[in-house]
Structure 1
Amino acid sequence: MLSLSSCYENVEGCLDPNSSNYNVASDVDCEDCCTYPTLSLLVAYVLGETSYNRMDTLTNDIGIEFVIEDAQFYFSEIVLSDGTEDYRIDETFEYSDINGTDRIAIDDIALVTPNVFRYSLGTFTQSNDYTRLMINLGVPEIIDKAQSITVTSDHPLVQAGDSLFIVDQNQYVNSWI
């Protein structure tokens, strides 16, 4: 008669292959331990084929020189597509719509300013080969008409002095030059 015994202990870890910390050696899925890549966009300012910085002297097609002293704009509703399905980031925030009903919106809004070139938009858990990127210029209409928005103090939609929110009109300006 042969008797075998083992003291093997299950290894807990992330079992989602789309995560950054996928652990193929894990036996048991951990609770909320998976980390995912962040969707980041890099913004470059270009006129024709020439990159430029704020306060550079630029020349238009008819030879007139000009300087862009400041420019800001919102982009939102970022969608990656593989040709079959569309994908969006995972983070959300709460807002009250025009009727006062509490709602949830995808938190993929960025305020592009002249001195920042990389924008971290949130967690992206889908892994795929993407063929198309779609971006809305401006704040989504449902947010622009919201009665209230619940976001952190460093969020692009915070209604502070340097934001693109017009208090007396209770709406956002989508772009400003």
Structure 2
Amino acid sequence: MLTIWPRDKMLSIRFFLILMLGGLLSCEEYKEGCMDASATNFQVSNQAPCCCEYPDLVFQTTLTDGEGTLSFADTFENAAGQRYVIRELKFLASNIQLSDSTGAVFVPGDTTGNYLVSPAILGVNVLDLNNAGANFLSDGTFDHLEFSVGPVEELRGKVPADFPRDHPLRDSTFYDFRAHSWNWVKVVLDVPGSEAGSLNLSIDDPRANVDISGSWTKTRGRDLVVNFRINITTLFDAMDFSLPEDVLLSKFKANLRASFEP
């Protein structure tokens, strides 16, 4: 038997079905967020991709005298009995690479394309303790770190203002605006009792290849923190701060590579 529904009743049924379907769909709320498990802000509950932030390579630097860890605020004394305070100690690392026990080599990357220069370049302010660079996504344990300290051709013609606000090379103290060049290595010391009262050394061409062994582990979604130390006894102990600047620069350059320790 064929049932014919009145037109107004058919319209009511259609309207009801539309309301019911809309109600069912409205119950499903998609949570927006990072859906990449390699990211630092990944959550398994996210259902709409957005805003991923990726792990970084972090250089964690401390000072040592060869025996223990020293405070950045301490007053030190060299072999000549001269007291000094480190106000700045910075360097530009390039060609950064890590390796594991199998000899496999791993390098930083630029996941978002915002680093602007090679991700294997990092400006390091030793007194900041932690210096974050480009992204590092490889997980595992790494036992060897290599990098160079010296002129980086890729930076020639660039200035700190060319980089985003949160970029490690945005720090203007890495740049000498009078000489229009980057400070590849820079140290500023307060030397109480000396004629100048302070010492400001910047090496134009240090050419130091640093090689450090250690054990640094990264897990998924976490930064890789690579800690190492700067031995101030190696760096400054044999320096007489009363000598001419060119002599001090020569000694500082000669001591630089050996001052990096695990």
TM-score, length basis structure 2: 0.45
- Is the contact made by 1:42 and 1:118 (CA closer than 8 Å) also made in structure 2? yes
In structure 1, the partner of 2:81 is: 64
Deviations 1:48-107 (A, max 9, x none): 2132234523234x462421331221233332223123321326433xxxxxxxxx4327
Does 2:93 correspond to 1:76?
Answer: yes
CA distance 1:22–1:139, shift in 2 (3 Å): farther
Does 2:122 correspond to 1:112?
Answer: no
In structure 1, the partner of 2:10 is: none
- TM-aligned CA deviation for residue 171 of structure 1: 0.6
- TM-aligned CA deviation for residue 156 of structure 1: 3.9
CA distance 1:38–1:158, shift in 2 (3 Å): closer
Does 2:158 correspond to 1:131?
Answer: no
Of 115, 134, 158, which aligns to 1:93?
A: 115
Distance 1:123 1:147 in 2: 21
- Is the contact made by 1:89 and 1:108 (CA closer than 8 Å) also made in structure 2? no
- Is the contact made by 2:149 and 2:184 (CA closer than 8 Å) also made in structure 1? yes
Secondary structure of 1:142's counterpart equals: helix
Does 2:174 correspond to 1:164?
Answer: yes
Deviations 1:126-162 (A, max 9, x none): 223323122333562321x2256731235343374xx
Gapped regions of structure 2 (runs ≥ 5): 1-27, 188-262
The letter for the 1-side match of 2:174 is L
* Structure number, greater radius of gyration: 2
Name the Cα RMSD after superposition: 3.5
In structure 2, the partner of 1:99 is: none
- Is the contact made by 1:71 and 1:175 (CA closer than 8 Å) also made in structure 2? no
Identical-pair percentage:
19
The letter for the 1-side match of 2:108 is R
- Is the contact made by 2:93 and 2:123 (CA closer than 8 Å) also made in structure 1? yes
Distance 2:34 2:177 in 1: 46
Distance 2:115 2:53 in 1: 20
Deviations 1:25-53 (A, max 9, x none): 99x9x645654333222211112213223
- TM-aligned CA deviation for residue 172 of structure 1: 1.0
The letter for the 2-side match of 1:122 is A
Distance 2:143 2:120 in 1: 22
CA distance 1:54–1:16, shift in 2 (3 Å): closer
In structure 2, the partner of 1:101 is: none
In structure 1, the partner of 2:68 is: 50
In structure 2, the partner of 1:4 is: none
CA distance 1:48–1:64, shift in 2 (3 Å): farther
- Is the contact made by 1:22 and 1:34 (CA closer than 8 Å) also made in structure 2? no
In structure 2, the partner of 1:146 is: 157
In structure 2, the partner of 1:174 is: 184
The answer to which structure has the higher helix fraction is 2
Gapped regions of structure 1 (runs ≥ 5): 1-8, 95-103
